Structure 1
Amino acid sequence: MAAAVASLCFSAIGQSCEKRSLASSTARSFGSNFEGIRFRPSVLSDYGGARTSTSASSSRMVVHCMCTAVDVPTVAQTKQNFLKAYKRPIPSVYNTVLQELLVQQHLMRYKKFYQYDPVFALGFVTVFDQLMEGYSSDEDRESIFLAYIRALNEDPEQYRVDAQKLEEWARNQSSDSLVNFSSREGEIEEKLKDIAERARGKGSFSYSRFFAVGLFRLLELANATEPTVLDKLCAALNINKRSVDRDLDVYRNLLSKLVQAKDLLKEYIDREKRKREERAESQKANEAITKCVGEYQEVGQ
């Protein structure tokens, strides 16, 4: 069944009106309404080139953006880079959403004031892992991740490393320590201070949908369940709380639709598997009957 999942195109389920409707509505939702991103119910045009530099006094990496139109790839080029890097077929229940996210992230990536930050990375890694949850092969899933990030001319290893560091840090925080990062020293604290400083500047910080998911993931890992904690964290980071609320609500709804689409895909695969098994059994029975008839005829002669 794993092999079937890896090669199946979700649009092939089109014999069912209900399935076509759900799949298309899921794709449209991700394409037109993806404003940002809540996790599972228990808890998603200016352009510029980019260069990186590392401060001698700090381990944090800062991406400096420059408005150089010659260096900015088109959306089509970014999508083509992805397809060249990962050439195996992807079931369209995954591929449709991946392509829409890639377009959205291309627009974020090449905004004039875009700067990579670890909270953004945590948000994207969380979205990607939830989107690809249940994919047939862990190896293929990671290969898709590598191709996706590299298509945007960024470093997939940096995404994973920074996301892991933030997750480990958040697990050791309380509600109070999480929102009071500015009063403490540490690698993660310094990165959060940098974000807050740039966000206060109203120019060197570009809020994104994945950033909202990263914030909520921090709260989830710190078990900061009080409703006011997100308000305080947004205030400490100088982030608009209304934008975060909007993006988290949209993501929760889209994730729910995606889960339904995956369930339909699994039902289709299981049904096709049963049909193949039934056909195989029928063929074996026919072969057995044919063999018996042949042996009977030989004895009769």
Structure 2
Amino acid sequence: MDNIRTVSDTKRKFYGYHTQPINSIYRRFVEELLVEMHLLSVNIDFSYDPIYALGVVTSFQRFMQGYSPESDKPSIFNALCQAVDGSSEKYHQEAEAILNEAKGLSIVDFKDKLTHVTDNQVGEGVLWGTFGAIAANPKFKYSRLLAIGLYTLLMEIDSDLLKDEEKRTETIKEVSEALKFSPEKLRKDLDLYRSNLDKMQQLLTVIEDSLEADRKKRASTEGKTSAEVVEQTETPETQQSENNV
């Protein structure tokens, strides 16, 4: 029997692929996402699917906003995927494909098809094939990242619906019942996700305000320094000459 990869093994792989330091503000998020992906990858009941991939991609994109240097972000995401024996290209391609399928749906069509997801009558495509596989698997391993993928799909179909708490709760319940996992768990995970996004946005605003204040302070200091230099270069002879004039 093969030895199960440990968290330490996965972290070593990650830092072997991405060798640059990670911005301290974002380091906790990156490592928590890495551990979450690791724990799922070694779980016997977990199976990768495009909705999970969309959750990973969306989570990374939303929580890595403002990361500097921007050019390091592809390397970090690639390292996250490779550390759990995945492919960043596959994650992106399948996330985009399933999101594109959702774009052509209304919320009414989506809910109607979802109620028949196990009937093999909802049409072809990655989206409904994935939903069907989830609903038909009694040992399906639910995850927070899958919940984020579902939320992203719903946002693409009808973002206004999710702004209404009552309608959002109702939709989450319908999705959970169709896919056969706990609506309470899904609701709590999505509430936490939304809350964390708000906190991250607030943090980015504080950082940007701080940087702007620092830029203004430097500009003011440089202006004063320039004036002092000019004043200091005026010799007594120059000042006397000006007085004579």
Q: TM-score range by the shorter chain?
A: 0.7 to 0.9
**Counterpart in the other structure of 2:21:** 89
Residue 232 of structure 1 and its aligned partner are, at CA, apart by 2.4
Contact 2:99 2:156 in 1 (8 A): yes
**Counterpart in the other structure of 1:185:** 123
Deviation readout 1:48-107 (Å, 9 max, x if unpaired):
xxxxxxxxxxxxxxxxxxx732xx332123223222322333332212221122222221
Paired residue total: 228
Q: State, as a whole percentage, how many aligned pairs show the same letter.
A: 29
Distance 1:117 1:294, change over 3 A: farther
Q: Distance between the aligned counterparts of 2:88 and 2:237, measured in 1? A: 64
Q: Which one of 193, 199, 208 corresponds to residue 257 of structure 1?
A: 199
Q: Distance between the aligned counterparts of 1:295 and 1:113, measured in 2? A: 88
Write the letter of the residue equivalent to 2:151: F
**Counterpart in the other structure of 2:134:** 195
Distance 1:173 1:137, change over 3 A: farther
Residue 137 of structure 1 and its aligned partner are, at CA, apart by 5.0
**Counterpart in the other structure of 1:239:** 181
**Counterpart in the other structure of 1:114:** 46
Structure having the larger proportion of residues in helix: 2
For residues 48-127 of structure 1, what are the structure 2 equivalents within 5 Å? 68-69=2-3, 72-127=4-59
Deviation readout 1:197-230 (Å, 9 max, x if unpaired):
12xx23xx21100111111222221117244333
Contact 1:93 1:262 in 2 (8 A): no
**Alignment pair present for 1:283 and 2:225:** yes
Q: Distance between the aligned counterparts of 2:134 and 2:99, measured in 1? A: 17
Q: Distance between the aligned counterparts of 2:143 and 2:209, measured in 1? A: 35
Distance 1:294 1:194, change over 3 A: farther
Stretches of structure 2 that go unaligned for 5 or more consecutive residues are 162-166
Q: TM-score, normalised by structure 2?
A: 0.82
Contact 2:7 2:35 in 1 (8 A): yes
Distance 1:240 1:294, change over 3 A: farther
Q: With CA pairs under 8 Å and 6+ residues apart, which has the higher RCO, 1 or 2? A: 1
Write the letter of the residue equivalent to 2:35: V
Q: Distance between the aligned counterparts of 2:14 and 2:232, measured in 1? A: 52
For residues 194-213 of structure 1, what are the structure 2 equivalents within 5 Å? 194-198=133-137, 201-202=138-139, 205-213=140-148
Stretches of structure 1 that go unaligned for 5 or more consecutive residues are 1-66
Q: Distance between the aligned counterparts of 1:82 and 1:274, measured in 2? A: 39
**Alignment pair present for 1:222 and 2:150:** no
Task: Give me the CA root mean square deviation.
Answer: 2.6
Deviation readout 1:167-192 (Å, 9 max, x if unpaired):
11111112243231532221222222
Write the letter of the residue equivalent to 1:195: I
Q: Distance between the aligned counterparts of 1:82 and 1:98, measured in 2? A: 10
Contact 1:175 1:229 in 2 (8 A): no
SS of aligned partner of 1:107: helix
